[in-house]
Structure 1
Amino acid sequence: MSRIDAVDRQILTELVGDARVSMRDLAARVHVSRANAYARVRRLIDDGVIERFTAQVAPEEVGLGTTAYVSMRIQQNSWQAVADHLSGVPGVEHIALCSGDFDVVALVRTRDTSHLRDLVLEDIRAVPGVVTTRTVVVLDEVRPVFGVGGAATAMANGAEPAPGS
């Protein structure tokens, strides 16, 4: 893990808020030279801290009005195969291996509930290794970005990662 200092944390917070910010404006916002800002961003990319620059799209504005969490119990030692398969299923946005009553939780987005039904029954339940599913439809959501609240606030305030992470 790379060492992240207070300036790096400020840079990350600024980039999460606006990944299209110019290096000149970024440098001014975090009070460093443009060359220093550029070098730091390059290092954060090279060290794998910044994985990519992306756009956050409003799902409902592109026709994906139904969101759900699909929890799955899977066969022992099938996590990687299940994750690989689910990664190729259209509509599956995020996949996580979890502890608790279910082994895997997937965030899915579809056009409507009929497409959600088809996704769960025909695509997800057909994945080799998936034993059972439970679907929870999202009625409303708040989609905070990393830089606002939660982990980013803790990081910006200097929180250290848990041992071994």
Structure 2
Amino acid sequence: MGPEQMADGPQDGVVLPPPRPLDAIDQDILRILQADGRASIRSVAERVHVSRANAYARINRLVEDGVIRGFSARVDHERAGHGTSAYITLKIVQNSWRTVREQLRQLPGASHIALVGGDFDVLLLVHTPDNRALRELVLTRLQAIPEVLSTRTLLVFEEEDLEPET
């Protein structure tokens, strides 16, 4: 592939430069933006002790290099009407990851998908309005995917997103 690497994941098909080492200022900028993605350039620059132009250039480089994949809101799923969460493990047909991943991306409430090693192949996190919707998702949608050999559902009783230290 040459000096550049092809991304495999949410940015499929996007050519990214090879990873560059991040210095302490880049790490601080990432920590600040993870804690508050709406932080102003001015605020970030002041907190990491660089000029606004330098902070702006660094953030742009982090985005262009694919280190920062985007900005989003942290959602309380229960307050947003999705009071049931579950991790679902899947065993899939060998070499079907890309096909299965594309189908899992389309599922309502799918929040995180990971190809893993161990007793199962895929770990899927979903948020649904209630247990009935979860049952429908597992029994009707997931088990209808031909490459899915088996599933196991782990109901989440309580969850907490770990926030970066500020």
Provide the residue aligned with 1:119 in structure 2: 137
Between 1 and 2, higher relative CO (CA 8 Å, sep ≥ 6) is seen in 1
TM-score by length of 2: 0.86
Query: How many residues of Structure 1 are paired with residues of Structure 2 in the alignment?
Result: 148
One-letter identity of the residue aligned with 2:121:
D
Q: Secondary structure at the match of 2:45?
A: helix
TM-score by length of 1: 0.87
Percent of paired sites with the same residue: 49
Q: Secondary structure at the match of 1:59?
A: coil
Instruction: For 2:116 and 2:23, locate their aligned partners in 1 and report how far apart those are by CA, in whole Å.
Output: 30
One-letter identity of the residue aligned with 1:141:
E
Instruction: For 2:146 and 2:109, locate their aligned partners in 1 and report how far apart those are by CA, in whole Å.
Output: 18
Provide the residue aligned with 1:108 in structure 2: 126
Say if 2:166 is the partner of 1:137: no
Shift of 1:148: 4.0
Alignment root-mean-square deviation, CA: 1.2
Provide the residue aligned with 1:22 in structure 2: 40
One-letter identity of the residue aligned with 2:35:
G
Moved over 4 A (4+): none
One-letter identity of the residue aligned with 2:68:
I
Q: Deviations over 1:55-92 (max 9, x none)?
A: 11110111100000010100011111000001001111
Q: Secondary structure at the match of 1:62?
A: coil
Say if 2:93 is the partner of 1:63: no
Judge conservation of contact 1:86–1:127 (CA < 8 Å) in 2: no
- As a proportion of its length, which structure holds more helix? 1
Q: Structure 1 residues 138 and 6, CA, compared in 2 at 3 Å: closer, same or farther?
A: same
One-letter identity of the residue aligned with 1:15:
L
Residue from 35, 57, 61 that aligns with 1:39:
57
Q: Structure 1 residues 148 and 127, CA, compared in 2 at 3 Å: closer, same or farther?
A: farther
Residue from 11, 16, 25 that aligns with 1:7:
25
